[in-house]
């Protein structure tokens, strides 16, 4: 006779490495997430959209503007030398 299981299987825990699940549990504690699905949703949104993409619309307008003298095509991190 097959025994019927009433317990829910934790899909995340069964499909990720132990160290990843432990890090998720720590993330949940630090950020006050009550469920694994809420924590995974927040992590995915931040990874896929970045921190700015996850801000509520009223906060988007108050972000500081980037400096005007920075050239977008430059990857230089030190002082510029004359050509």
Contacts with 34 (C-beta within 8 Å, 6 or more apart), sequence order: 28
Helices (H), the chain: 11-15, 18-31, 36-53, 57-60
pLDDT tens readout for residues 32-74? 989 999 999 999 888 888 776 676 666 666 556 666 665 555 5
Quick check: pTM over 0.75? Answer: no
């Amino acid at each position: 006779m097959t025994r019927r299981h009433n317990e829910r299987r934790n899909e995340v825990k069964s499909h990720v490495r132990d160290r990843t699940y432990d890090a998720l549990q720590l993330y949940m504690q630090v950020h006050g997430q009550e469920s694994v699905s809420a924590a995974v949703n927040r992590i995915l949104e931040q990874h896929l959209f970045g921190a700015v993409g996850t801000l509520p619309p009223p906060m988007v307008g108050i972000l500081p503007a980037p400096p005007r003298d920075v050239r977008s095509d430059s990857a230089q991190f030190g002082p510029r030398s004359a050509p």
